[in-house]
Amino acid sequence: MPKKFDTNPLDPDFPEKAKAAATADVGGYTSPQSPYKTAEFPTAPPSVTEDETRRFDEAEFNAYSFHGGPAPVAAYAAPAAEMNRASSRKEERTGLPEKWLIGLPYLPFKIGLIAGLILLLIIPKEESKVRFHAAQGLAAHVGILIVITILGIVGNATDLADLGSIIFTIVTTIMLIIFAIKAWTGKPVHIESVDDLTNWLEEKIGPLKT
């Protein structure tokens, strides 16, 4: 029994009773149930083998459309080497074999210069192979004419330039003949030094409207 002046009037057993009551409340607590459920992910993704991956051949790929239209040419364009190769197929506008048309622009003595310009003016854009060689042959002739002109101007001051012009003319003539033969026989012809001029000529000189 507590004394009259006891500063702790609480029941000595109160701490134990309070602790027991708190334990009982926690043990009987039930968390609210949520209608939502956390998504469960598979412990391991399904294995995908190479056999299960579908592979498309070129025909199937071309059958699909891009934004409602046919697949762009760049998506299945032939390699650059194929662009340079000639065939015996006749070009519709001229009726001449393709391999002859791509060989004409490389003929020396300005024949190829005229042929390349005419082909660019009459061959449609769809004939990209013929137009490429027409532009490349024309670019080669233009480059040769520029060098010969410069050598001719310098030749007024020294005979050495005249000799250089003669040698350059002989070398470029042989080179053009080799290019023409390679084109006619179906071998690739690529003059890297005139790539920029070739692209510019092919773009700027379009077929005349009929």
For the stretch 109-133, pLDDT in tens is 899 999 999 999 999 999 999 999 9
Please list the residues that pair with 69 across neighbouring strands.
66
* pLDDT band, very low/low/confident/very high, at 68 (cuts 50, 70, 90): very low
Mean pLDDT across the chain:
74
What is the structure's pLDDT at 158? Answer: 74
Residues whose CB is less than 8 angstroms from the CB of residue 183 and which lie 6 or more positions away in sequence, other chains included: 86, 99, 102, 103, 106, 133, 189
What is the structure's pLDDT at 32? Answer: 53
CB 9 within 8 A of CB 2: yes
